[in-house]
Chains A and B, each alone.
Chain A
């Protein structure tokens, strides 16, 4: 699986959009970008994933650059409950059938009132 690089921490004002960047310059053609988050003392939670196209669901939007070497997770209206560590993960789909996920350090997002 390709390696990802994320900023260690970020702050965002409550109600504003939180834009979390991720660099995955060594991503290969069949690898997806996944985002998870982990609220303090809880298990990680899936947010969204994508391959080439931008994706949106009820939680967030995922913008992937055309060359797929980086992506941005957007939380459109951050709330205090969005304070968490956000993990960007690149994973080959069905690689060996095991869908192994390797977590990096992630970005600690602090939403400020």
Chain B
């Protein structure tokens, strides 16, 4: 089945140690998103790619970076994780093809713990 896959599902890192979260999709969607969701809060958009065009949200810290080497893969890099970066990180995709519902398809998320 076409889907959005996130690896790993659980990631533990140390304070200040760089970490990379990955997302892949088999939907061939041209838009990919990264959200941060802290406990009991709504998902918050960090940035998104429209094809290779990167779009950062104004309040996304510089500590967060992203790469999209091809249509299928997108990575979230946290350069120096702090305790406040512990959260669920959600990847999503969507397409602009005519006739599509415009919905976003979400992966299961990666839960990041910072020690």
- Interface positions of A (Cβ within 8 A of B): 32, 34, 36, 38, 41-46, 49, 87, 91, 93-94, 97-106
Give Cα A46–Cα B4 distance, bound, in whole angstroms.
14
Query: Which residues in B have their C-beta under 8 angstroms from that of A43?
Result: 4, 90, 92, 106-109
Query: Which residues in A have their C-beta under 8 angstroms from that of B31?
Result: 98-99
Give Cα A41–Cα B37 distance, bound, in whole angstroms.
11
Stretch at the interface among B61-69, B75-83, B94-102: B94-102
Overall SS of chain A's interface: loop
Q: Is the CB of A104 within 8 A of B102?
A: no
Residue in A34, A97, A102, A104 whose beta carbon sits within 8 Å of that of B103 in the complex: A34
Query: Which residues in B have their C-beta under 8 angstroms from that of A93?
Result: 102
Q: Can you list 26 A-B pairs, Cβ within 8 angstroms, ordered by A? A: A32-B102, A36-B104, A38-B43, A42-B108, A43-B90, A43-B92, A43-B106, A43-B107, A43-B109, A44-B92, A45-B106, A46-B101, A46-B103, A87-B42, A93-B102, A94-B102, A98-B31, A98-B50, A99-B94, A100-B45, A100-B48, A101-B45, A101-B104, A103-B43, A105-B41, A106-B42
The smallest C-beta distance from A71 to any residue of chain B, in angstroms, reads 16
